[in-house]
Each structure stands twice: as C-alpha cells, then as structure tokens.
C-alpha cells in the first residue's frame, strides 16, 4: 500500500487493529455473510433493527486490513441511522468506491471514509473495501449470503 498516503494508511491500520463494533451481535434481527474469494476475506454483518432504525450493528471480519477497516468504518456510519438514510449511504459509498468518476476526496467531508476511497488506486483491493457494504445491503434485505462475484 506504499502509494496510499500515510494518513489513509494510518486510518486503515487503526481500524484494523481495533475494529469498532467487531463482535457478533446476538440476538440480532438481520444477518448476512460476505466472502471475497479474491483475497479470502470473510465477514458477517449483524443488525438489530426492531423498526425503521438500526439500533445496533456489528461486523465480524476475518480478513485483510482493508476489509477489516471497511467493516469497522461501515458500522460507525450506519449505527443509529434510518433505513432510508442507510440505503442512500450504501449507494453513495458504491459510487465513491467503484464509480467511473474519480471522486474528490475531502477528509473533512468524508472522514475515515476518505481512507477507503483511497483504495481506488488499487483495483485488486476494491472488493476488500466494498465487501462489508454488500453484506450490509444483503442483511437489510433479509438475505443470508453476500459473496462477491
Ligand atoms: Zn482483502
């Protein structure tokens, strides 16, 4: 990751070392697994959503630093938000990470997400960064599996 700026690398490594909300959430109302065969990342997203609001969320990741950081950052952004807000966030994140247009990264606006957007420079690792978001989407739809193709 030598081209990833030091700051982004620091954000990723900090989340990797101490993932936020990284423990299984049991019982939960929604759950989905994600698997990225390109890198071997595996994760499970747990959601406690008694109504229209995500009360609690966790992402238990076994994988590389980027996948672990992505899951951790995802939970901090989603916790306490309404489903409609989260759906918008998922779409925005996909566009930032995989859209054709190169996004302008603004550390103030994007916060820790800026570090994930920095992964765009490494196409082989993009799926590591999007895995948790795909699994979140599946979990909210009530699906069980989110293997990326
Ligand atoms: Zn990975």
E strand residue ranges, the chain = 30-36, 41-48, 56-62, 145-147
Average pLDDT of span 55-74? 98
CB 137 within 8 A of CB 146: yes
Q: How far, in Å, from the CA of 132 to the mean position of ligand 1? A: 11
Q: How far, in Å, from the CA of 128 to the mean position of ligand 1? A: 4
Q: How far, in Å, from the CA of 52 to the mean position of ligand 1? A: 31
> For 2-140, which CATH class?
alpha beta
CB-based burial of residue 121 (10 Å sphere; 0-12 exposed, 13-18 middle, 19+ buried)?
A: middle
The predicted pLDDT at position 148 comes to: 56
The predicted pLDDT at position 84 comes to: 96
Residue with tokens 């293997």: 147
**Residues 96-142: pLDDT tens digits?**
999 999 898 888 889 999 999 999 989 999 999 999 999 999 999 98
* Higher pLDDT, residue 50 or 92: 92
**pTM for this structure?**
0.91
Q: How far, in Å, from the CA of 127 to the mean position of ligand 1? A: 7
Q: How far, in Å, from the CA of 39 to the mean position of ligand 1? A: 5
User: What backbone phi and psi angles, to 5 degrees, belong to 112?
Assistant: -65, -25
Q: How far, in Å, from the CA of 36 to the mean position of ligand 1? A: 7
CB 66 within 8 A of CB 125: yes
Kindly tell me the sign of the dihedral angle through the C-alpha atoms of 87, 92, 96, 102. positive
Q: How far, in Å, from the CA of 27 to the mean position of ligand 1? A: 27
Q: How far, in Å, from the CA of 93 to the mean position of ligand 1? A: 17
DSSP classification of residue 80: T
pLDDT at 1 over 50: no
Q: In what order do the strands lie in the sheet with 30-36?
A: 56-62, 41-48, 30-36, 145-147
**Tokens linked to 102:** 């190169």
Q: How far apart are CA 6 and CA 44, in angstroms?
A: 29
Q: How far, in Å, from the CA of 65 to the mean position of ligand 1? A: 7
The predicted pLDDT at position 147 comes to: 59
Average pLDDT of span 44-70? 96
Domain ranges, ordered by start, for the chain: 2-140
């Amino acid at each position: 990751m030598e081209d990833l700026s030091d700051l982004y690398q620091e954000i990723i490594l900090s989340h990797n070392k101490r993932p936020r909300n990284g423990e299984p959430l049991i019982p939960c109302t929604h759950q989905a697994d994600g698997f990225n065969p390109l890198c071997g990342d595996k994760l499970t997203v747990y959601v406690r959503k008694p109504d229209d609001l995500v009360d609690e969320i966790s992402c238990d990741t076994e994988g590389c630093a980027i996948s672990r950081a992505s899951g951790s950052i995802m939970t901090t952004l989603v916790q306490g938000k309404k489903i409609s807000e989260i759906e918008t966030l998922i779409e925005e994140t996909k566009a930032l990470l995989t859209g054709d247009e190169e996004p302008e990264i603004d550390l103030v606006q994007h916060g820790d997400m800026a570090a994930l957007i920095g992964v765009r420079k490494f196409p082989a690792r993009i799926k590591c960064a999007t895995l948790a978001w795909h699994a979140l989407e599946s979990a909210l739809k009530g699906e069980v599996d989110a293997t990326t193709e």
